[in-house]
């Protein structure tokens, strides 16, 4: 008798199985048992009553009678199943599924006129001679004094030919080499490419061919962006020598803007955390801590004054978290604003590429160069983008997520169970101790969040309380894990996942395995719930233009799912009275803090209102100056 997955599902239904999870679990168990035993896979897998019992437990259904189980077993045979046929295709990571996620509610079209937003620099016509742009600063006595200068400041100096791109490039390359042994943020220096680009930029500017504010400015790429002629490692063991024959779209666009790529920066393996095949990237403010991730090297290098700006990526916190830890500004753009062609795929419906810089203004300048359709990434929406640093932000309606700033609820009491064993007691006490420490850190940091609200009110802003729609956002995130497991399907099936640095229960190898038990029906149901989230979160921005929120917490999950843009900005340094961090950062907890380390605040905006978001962030930074703080490395 021949058999396929459809027949298997039908047989399960005949047996009275209503859970959509059960058939997928049972089918997978049978295949895995066959592969583990070395059985000839051309033969049907053997389904046993024990497998049915195991699958039922995982699915939360049953138990089944012996008769029901035998009825199922009698129907289960498989010859050339559809799963095997698809596996034989060996689909590369670069191939996206045959569906496209667009977060914009259908009733809210976005203007598609693309506008060049480099207003101040558009008016500069060098004409082959020396022309000083508005407010160009003087050249410093030492070129390294510019290590922590903003892109905007550097651009004016380069355009006025007070410094050269080659000088900047050599200075940043020297700093990268000097501090990499301490911070571990470089995977590959692109030195030859950079020096050639810098010399070309200087020649063009001297000839009056000025391309705009990124012309001649050194930058670094998160090493999930393909760069022809160099490895693209994805931070992962087993991929150290991987390379591609074409530059990522973002790299091409920054080349066209005249920016100088000087390094490819670390990321946690396959975009998780800050631990990669070469070690752990460090926080310049406290090198005993990791930089967080997964845009680990991008944030660390910008913070350390080793590059003018960098490109990171975020699926669920990978710009926000390292920007917070390293005290830099990060802009996670609206989903679909920046093409991801040539970037490693983790989740096709959640991945975003964005700038990590010193200031909101710098984020806006970089985003101007990289946004817009490329004809390849079909998720990109042709939304307008107009950066205006002089936007009258006082006309904006500013909201804040009230419950996120309210006093925390009393801690949950964890009473011992009856007949608690010594091992259970130890685990309970360790959990309570960990929760107590984490709560103390959150309570300490809360005053910085509240200070933001006070500062905004002092700026004349009438803050409007809002709340996120009451939806199960965390229950939607298995979509990410399922997509990631599909993106790295061959890694799991081949056993090469053992080459990844981290192997705990929360790391990718185990997550990929678990995701294989997530059924298609539940993925679709989560996607439908996500549609509700997109609609309801977008409705908030009918009431307000900007929302203020703590960087961590539920909003981070919600807005990554709904595709709304987020600007993460430095919000001061913890005092010497801050709770001390652990002696060693295990990477398991983002909120470890400690004296003299940065905190952040997040601003949110409506879909494709990224320029407006950056303009408000720019106003806040002008009023506070926190973005000008930088670590002392020597």
Residue 560 has pLDDT above 50, yes or no: yes
- Contact status, residue 400 vs residue 544, Cβ threshold 8 Å: no
Q: Residue with structure tokens 């670069």?
A: 94
Closest CA to 605 of 453, 385, 410, 312: 385
Q: Among 203-217, 584-598, 611-625, whose mean pLDDT is lowest?
A: 584-598
CA distances from 314 to 268, 276, 283 (A): 12, 17, 19
Closest CA to 100 of 477, 318, 482, 381: 381
- Which letter does DSSP use for residue 33 in this model? H
- Contact status, residue 431 vs residue 415, Cβ threshold 8 Å: no
Residue 324 has pLDDT above 80, yes or no: yes
Query: Rg of the Cα trace of the chain?
Result: 26
Q: What is the pLDDT of residue 107?
A: 55
* Reported confidence tier of residue 515, pLDDT bands at 50, 70, 90: confident
Q: Among 62-76, 121-135, 152-166, 291-305, whose mean pLDDT is lowest?
A: 121-135
Comparison of pLDDT for 118 and 289, the residue scoring more: 289
Superfamily for the 146-386 domain: Amidase signature (AS) domain (3.90.1300.10)
**Is the bond leading into 581 cis (omega within 30 degrees of zero)?**
no
The b/e string for 15-32 (b: 16+ C-beta within 10 A; e otherwise) is bebebbbbbbbbbbbbbe
* Reported confidence tier of residue 114, pLDDT bands at 50, 70, 90: very low
Mean pLDDT computed over 243-247: 98
| Three-state DSSP state, 234 | coil
Return d(Cα 20, Cα 265) in angstroms, integer.
Answer: 42
- Contact status, residue 464 vs residue 397, Cβ threshold 8 Å: yes
Return d(Cα 134, Cα 34) in angstroms, integer.
Answer: 71
Q: Which residues pair with 605 in a beta bridge?
A: 546
* Reported confidence tier of residue 88, pLDDT bands at 50, 70, 90: confident
* Reported confidence tier of residue 4, pLDDT bands at 50, 70, 90: very low
Q: What is the mean pLDDT of the chain?
A: 87
Residue 75 has pLDDT above 50, yes or no: no
Residue 119 has pLDDT above 80, yes or no: no
Comparison of pLDDT for 413 and 353, the residue scoring more: 353
Residue 241 has pLDDT above 50, yes or no: yes
**Is the bond leading into 294 cis (omega within 30 degrees of zero)?**
yes
Mean pLDDT computed over 285-303: 97
Count of C-beta atoms within a 10 Å radius of residue 379:
22
Q: Among 14-28, 112-126, 440-454, 480-494, whose mean pLDDT is lowest?
A: 112-126
Residue 341 has pLDDT above 80, yes or no: yes
Return d(Cα 497, Cα 187) in angstroms, integer.
Answer: 20
Return d(Cα 522, Cα 516) in angstroms, integer.
Answer: 12
Residue 110 has pLDDT above 80, yes or no: no
Q: Each residue of 173-182: pLDDT tens digit? A: 999 999 999 9
Q: What is the pLDDT of residue 105?
A: 78
* Reported confidence tier of residue 435, pLDDT bands at 50, 70, 90: confident
- Can you give the residue ranges of every domain in the chain? 5-87, 146-386, 394-628
Q: What is the pLDDT of residue 43?
A: 59
Return d(Cα 76, Cα 418) in angstroms, integer.
Answer: 45
Mean pLDDT computed over 485-496: 91
- Contact status, residue 561 vs residue 533, Cβ threshold 8 Å: yes
Residue 129 has pLDDT above 80, yes or no: no
CA distances from 389 to 177, 299, 570, 611 (A): 35, 24, 19, 9
Burial of residue 535 (CB within 10 Å: 0-12, 13-18, 19+) is: middle
Q: What is the pLDDT of residue 38?
A: 67
Mean pLDDT computed over 487-499: 91
Q: What is the pLDDT of residue 617?
A: 98
Mean pLDDT computed over 45-50: 74
Phi, psi of 260 (to 5 degrees): -110, 110
Which residues are annotated as catalytic?
222, 294, 318
Q: Each residue of 375-434: pLDDT tens digit? A: 999 999 999 999 999 999 999 999 999 999 999 888 777 788 888 888 888 888 888 888
Residue 142 has pLDDT above 90, yes or no: yes
Do strands 286-290 and 282-283 pair parallel, antiparallel, or not at all (unpaired)?
Answer: antiparallel
CA angle at residue 157 from 152 to 162, to 5 degrees?
175
Share of the chain above pLDDT 90, in %: 67
One of 2.40.50.140, 3.90.1300.10, 3.40.190.10, 3.30.70.890 is the CATH number of 394-628, namely 3.90.1300.10
Mean pLDDT computed over 203-231: 98
* Reported confidence tier of residue 54, pLDDT bands at 50, 70, 90: confident
Same fold, 146-386 and 394-628: yes
* Reported confidence tier of residue 545, pLDDT bands at 50, 70, 90: very high
Return d(Cα 231, Cα 213) in angstroms, integer.
Answer: 28
Mean pLDDT computed over 119-147: 64
Comparison of pLDDT for 563 and 515, the residue scoring more: 563
Comparison of pLDDT for 373 and 135, the residue scoring more: 373
Q: Which residues pair with 246 in a beta bridge?
A: none
- Contact status, residue 464 vs residue 548, Cβ threshold 8 Å: no
Comparison of pLDDT for 305 and 35, the residue scoring more: 305
* Reported confidence tier of residue 496, pLDDT bands at 50, 70, 90: very high
Of the CA atoms within 13 Å of residue 630, those in its CB half-sphere come to 20
- Which letter does DSSP use for residue 603 in this model? E
């Amino acid at each position: 008798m021949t058999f396929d997955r459809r027949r298997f599902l039908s047989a399960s239904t005949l047996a009275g199985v209503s859970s959509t999870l059960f058939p997928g679990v049972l089918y997978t168990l049978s295949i895995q048992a066959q592969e583990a035993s070395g059985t000839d896979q051309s033969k049907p897998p053997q389904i046993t009553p024990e497998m049915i019992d195991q699958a039922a437990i995982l699915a939360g259904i049953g138990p089944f009678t012996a008769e029901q189980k035998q009825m199922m077993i009698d129907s289960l045979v498989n010859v050339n199943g559809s799963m095997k046929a698809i596996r034989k295709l060996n689909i590369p990571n670069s191939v996206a599924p045959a569906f496209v996620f667009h977060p914009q509610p259908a009733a809210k079209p976005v203007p598609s006129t693309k506008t060049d937003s480099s207003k101040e620099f558009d008016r500069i016509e060098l004409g082959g001679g020396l022309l000083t742009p508005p407010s160009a600063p003087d050249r410093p006595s030492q070129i390294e004094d510019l290590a922590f200068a903003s892109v905007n400041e550097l651009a004016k100096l380069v355009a006025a030919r007070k410094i050269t791109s080659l000088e900047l490039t050599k200075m940043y390359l020297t700093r990268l080499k000097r501090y990499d042994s301490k911070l571990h943020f470089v995977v590959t220096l692109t030195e030859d490419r950079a020096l050639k680009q810098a010399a070309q930029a200087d020649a063009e500017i001297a000839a009056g061919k000025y391309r705009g504010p990124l012309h001649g400015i050194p930058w670094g790429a998160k090493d999930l962006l393909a760069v022809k002629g160099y490895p693209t490692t994805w931070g992962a063991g087993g991929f150290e020598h991987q390379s591609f024959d074409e530059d990522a779209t973002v790299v091409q666009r920054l080349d066209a803007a005249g920016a100088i790529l000087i390094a490819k920066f670390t990321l946690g393996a396959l975009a998780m955390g800050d631990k990669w095949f070469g070690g752990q990237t460090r926080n310049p403010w406290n090198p005993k801590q990791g930089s967080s991730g997964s845009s680990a090297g991008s944030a660390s290098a910008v913070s350390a004054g080793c590059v003018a700006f960098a490109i990171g990526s975020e699926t669920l916190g990978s710009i926000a978290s390292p920007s917070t830890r390293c005290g830099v500004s990060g802009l996670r753009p609206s989903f679909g604003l920046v093409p991801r062609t040539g970037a490693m795929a983790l989740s096709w419906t959640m991945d975003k590429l964005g700038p990590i810089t010193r200031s909101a203004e710098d984020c806006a300048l970089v985003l101007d160069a990289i946004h817009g359709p490329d004809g390849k990434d079909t998720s990109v929406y042709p939304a307008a983008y107009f950066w205006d640093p002089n936007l009258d932000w006082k006309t904006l309606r500013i909201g804040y997520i009230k419950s996120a700033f309210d006093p925390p609820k009393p801690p949950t009491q964890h009473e011992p169970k009856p007949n608690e064993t010594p091992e259970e007691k130890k685990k309970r006490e360790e959990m309570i101790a960990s929760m107590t420490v984490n709560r103390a850190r959150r309570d300490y940091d809360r005053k910085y969040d509240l200070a933001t609200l006070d500062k905004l009110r002092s700026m004349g802003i009438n803050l409007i309380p809002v709340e996120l729609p009451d939806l199960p956002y965390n229950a939607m995130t298995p979509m990410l894990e399922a997509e990631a497991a599909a993106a790295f399907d061959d890694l799991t099936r081949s056993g090469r996942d053992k080459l990844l640095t981290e192997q705990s229960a929360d790391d990718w190898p185990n997550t990929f395995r678990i995701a294989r038990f997530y059924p298609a029906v539940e993925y679709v149901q989560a996607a439908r719930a996500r549609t509700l989230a997109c609609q309801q979160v977008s409705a908030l921005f009918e009431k307000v233009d900007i929302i203020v929120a703590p960087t961590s917490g539920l909003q981070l999950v919600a807005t990554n799912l709904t595709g709304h843009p987020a600007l993460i900005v430095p919000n001061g340094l913890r005092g010497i009275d801050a709770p001390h961090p652990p002696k060693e950062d295990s990477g398991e907890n983002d909120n470890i803090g400690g004296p003299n380390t940065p905190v952040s605040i997040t601003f949110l905006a409506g879909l494709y209102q990224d320029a407006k978001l950056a303009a408000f962030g720019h106003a806040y930074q002008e009023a506070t100056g926190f973005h000008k703080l930088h670590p002392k490395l020597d």
